[in-house]
Amino acid sequence: MKDVVVERKVMARNESVADLNRALFREMGAYTVNLISSPGAGKTSLLEATLRQLQDEEGVRLAVVEGDVQTENDAERLAATGVPVEAIVTGGACHLDAAMVRRATQALCARLSGGIDLLIVENVGNLVCPASYDLGEDEKVSLVSVTEGEDKPLKYPALFHNAATLLVTKTDLLPYLEFDVELLIRNARSVNPRLRIFPVSARTGEGMGAWRDYLLQRARRV
C-alpha cells in the first residue's frame, strides 16, 4: 500500500509540472510532439530526416529536446542538422518526466529569442514508462518499425491508446521481411480507432512528405 501512495504522489507532482509546461508551450507558440518507441525503432534517424525536410520551410522555427539514458550521441547527431537541441541524460531513468522537459525547454528559451513553432521531444527508448508520463505535450507519437512484431499495440496498449499518431518506420526493409503492415494497423486501431498512421522510411524518403505536411499543419495551426 505504501508503494501505491508514493507512486500517486510522484504522478500527481508530474501532472502539476505538465500543466505548467502546457502553459509554457502555449506562451511560446509551440506545438509539442512526444516521440515514443522501443529502442532501435529508428526515432533518431526519422527525426534527422524530418528536421532536414522541415528546415526547407520558411518561417517554421524548430527545436528538439533529446532524451537518453546515457550519452549525448543522439543529441549531437540532431544538432548537426542545425536545429537547436537540448539534451537530457536521465542517468538510468527509463522515461522523461515533465520536470526534465521543463528544464530543457527553459534552457532552449534562454538560447532562442524568436520563439518556437514546433518542439519535438525524443523520449527514452521504452514502450511502457513513457506512455504514462504527461510532459504537457500536444500529442504523443508512437513508432513501430517493420523489424518488430505486428502485435506490439496489443502487448503495449497504453502507449497506442494515448498516442494520436503512429509512424510505421523502416518500410524500405519490407521486401526482405515477413511483416504484415495491414495486420499491425488493424491491431493498432483495435486499441485506438482514432490513430493517424504514416508508413515511412527515413532512408528512402517514402511517406516522409505526408508526415512533414502533417507537422507543418500543426506548427502553423492550419
Give the model's pLDDT for residue 21. Answer: 98
Q: Which of 55-59, 146-150, 169-173 has the lowest mean pLDDT?
A: 55-59
The mean pLDDT value for 115-124 works out to 96
The CATH number of the domain covering residues in 2-219: 3.40.50.300
Task: Show the 3-state SS of the chain.
Answer: CHHHHHHHHHHHHHHHHHHHHHHHHHHHCCEEEEEECCCCCCHHHHHHHHHHHHCCCCCCCEEEEEEECCCCHHHHHHHCCCCCEEEEECCCCCCCCHHHHHHHHHHHHHHCCCCCCEEEEECCCCCCHHHHCCCCCCEEEEEEECCCCCCHHHHCHHHHHHCCEEEEECHHHHHHCCCCHHHHHHHHHHHCCCCEEEECCCCCCCCHHHHHHHHHHHHCCC
Share of the chain above pLDDT 70, in %: 96
pTM metric for this prediction: 0.93
Domain boundaries of the chain, sorted by first residue: 2-219
Give the model's pLDDT for residue 185. Answer: 98
State the number of CA atoms in the 13 A half-sphere of 14 facing the CB: 18
